[in-house]
Amino acid sequence: MTFPLADIQIEALAEDAWLLRFGQTIDGAVNDRVHAAAAKLQAGLDHVECVPAYASLLLRFEVTQWLDDDGRFAAERLRAAIAAVWNERSLVDKPAREVSIPVCYDGVDLSDVATHAGMSTEEVATRHTTALYRVAMLGFAPGFPYLLGLDPALAMPRRSSPRTSVPAGSVAIGGQQTGIYPQDLPGGWQLIGRTPMRLFDLAAASPSLLAPGDHVRFRAIDQGEYERLAIDPGARP
């Protein structure tokens, strides 16, 4: 079941979940719209959970909150509520938060990435720290950020055979994206560095260092500073 709301498509993914699709590509402008919509809908609708992805937004609701008097699901009422929030101008999206993440650029695949890009390892680090990234979505594992904004010259395909374990804190490149492993995980991305920051901490009030829509900038650090910061991995920039 799909129907248009302005220029987005709404698909009923399950009884209690609609998927709002904004495009079909991994694209910064599309992703910006996803996050703007997520902020609006989260603020304007009660009892819903918004899960942003690259070009789509999952709206998960409680079916029991959207029943008509005769007990039937009130799809039209939910659609109207979404449209009303959509057109509500007072719900402007907040400016994105910027998070700085220190990285020691000494990853095991750094020289491969440099060779693939035809530049020095120093140049890879410089270009990686120059860009401003956007957290397109979190997924794969809790707190794993998929970051858009990688310098196209640094793009490199995933490894043909994934590693069974990539250490927590690894900063990596996978295709056009860059990301950070929040815990020890299997993975096929190219490892260019490591951060002492703890990306996901179940004991923290807000468990994830990053939220969808955040801006991220990397800051190069040397091994000495990595060791100093790693003593207190809970410290957040």
Task: Enumerate binding residues for other proteins (CB under 8 A).
Answer: 1, 11-17, 19, 21, 24-26, 38, 49-56, 58, 60, 63-64, 67, 71-73, 137-144, 146, 183, 200, 202, 207-208, 211-212
Smallest gap from Cβ 177 to other proteins, in A, equals 10
- CB-count burial class (<10 Å; 0-12, 13-18, 19+) for 234: exposed
Amino acid at 109: D
Two structure tokens written together for 183: 């815990």
Smallest gap from Cβ 145 to other proteins, in A, equals 9
Taking the least distance from each CB to other proteins, the nearer of 56 and 178 is 56
Taking the least distance from each CB to other proteins, the nearer of 55 and 99 is 55
Nearest of 59, 33, 57, 32 to residue 46 by alpha carbon = 59
Smallest gap from Cβ 219 to other proteins, in A, equals 23
| C-beta of residue 229 within 8 angstroms of C-beta of residue 235 | yes
Taking the least distance from each CB to other proteins, the nearer of 42 and 126 is 42
Strands 215-220 and 98-103, sheet pairing: parallel
In angstroms, the CA 226 to CA 228 distance is 5
Taking the least distance from each CB to other proteins, the nearer of 124 and 182 is 182
| C-beta of residue 26 within 8 angstroms of C-beta of residue 150 | no
Smallest gap from Cβ 85 to other proteins, in A, equals 17
Smallest gap from Cβ 54 to other proteins, in A, equals 5
Taking the least distance from each CB to other proteins, the nearer of 94 and 228 is 94
Report the interhelical angle of 121-130 vs 110-117 (nearest 10°).
Answer: 90
